[in-house]
Structure 1
Amino acid sequence: MSISRIYTGGCQCGAVRYRVEGTLGDPHLCHCRMCQKAAGNYFLPLANAPRDRFSMTRGEAGWFQSSEIVRRGFCRDCGTPLFYDALAADHINVTLGSLDDPDDVRPIAQAGVESRLVWFAQLAKLPESESDEGEFGEARHIVVRASNRQHPDYDTDHWPPEDIP
């Protein structure tokens, strides 16, 4: 008996959770303008999950029909982009950033490069800082940690915890 890889993920607030058993195929960054708008970002990282190995484990996604052949799933409560669903495909794409361990799936390709921002190749040259550096520094980090309502990166029996108002 072989043990299949299991991926779990969900939205920021924990209202929507999902599970994929097996391999996530074609992990890639999509730079197309439609994905940029859907992610509210410069690109959207995606990977294919076979429909018969994909399941929702908590809540239901909201859906936006972005074209005749594609709908996009998101959390109705916090707005996290979660899925790219090409309706005729045998798979659904999950957003790699919504995985509980996003570092576990490395993109192997880029798509929609005709819309990639021209300065994107220069990102590695920008100055860098840690989350607790900058204008508010450690104080901001402490306040965020003490009031954090983000769902943890693992499945929970219920969310939010009863002690959070």
Structure 2
Amino acid sequence: MPTDEKATLTGSCMCGGVRYQITGSLREVVNCHCEPCRQFTGHHMAATAVSAKNISFEKEETLTWYHRTPTVRYGFCSQCGSSLFWHDATRENFFAVPAGCLDQPTGLSTVLNIYTETAGDYYTLDPSLPCEIGDVTHW
């Protein structure tokens, strides 16, 4: 996991219409199996997390937001459709960032499954990872 507060990672959508930079440490990858994440990504969401103050946009012409609730929104590219962000304004401006949209190497590892009670019936959870029935407040 990048632990250096000055470390920088970059990422983008598939077409390059959205490009961003993350500075500072990131949370390890958590697999979220809740229904909204599965609908947003087409599978479970394997995401890291960052504070809004640590993410900056180099290019965002095609970044579009879908507001699921007044405080929760999903960011995607309106051109290529890439699922890019999950943002909750009530969690210290917390951004979840799908690990697959980050440029390699990331240095991240997958450490946890959450919302396992709503996991899709078409896949098996990795038995080597801890599982939480619902959300966890510490991530």
TM-score when normalising by structure 1: 0.66
Q: How does 1:9-88 map to 2 (within 5 A)?
A: 9-41=11-43, 43-60=44-61, 61-88=63-90
Go from structure 1 to structure 2 and tell me whether the alpha carbon gap of 1:121 and 1:25 turns closer, same or farther (over 3 Å shift).
Answer: same
1:29 CA drift (Å): 0.6
Aligned CA-pair RMSD: 2.2
1:119 CA drift (Å): 4.8
1:112 CA drift (Å): 1.1
Structure 2's unaligned 5+ residue stretches are 127-139
1:122 CA drift (Å): 7.6
Which one has the bigger strand percentage?
2
- Structure having the higher Rg: 1
Which one has the bigger helix percentage?
1
TM-score when normalising by structure 2: 0.78
Secondary structure at the aligned position of 2:100 is classed as: helix
Structure 1's unaligned 5+ residue stretches are 124-165
Q: Which residue does 2:132 correspond to in 1? A: none
- How many residue pairs align between the two structures? 122
1:118 CA drift (Å): 3.8
What percent identity do the matched residue pairs reach? 27
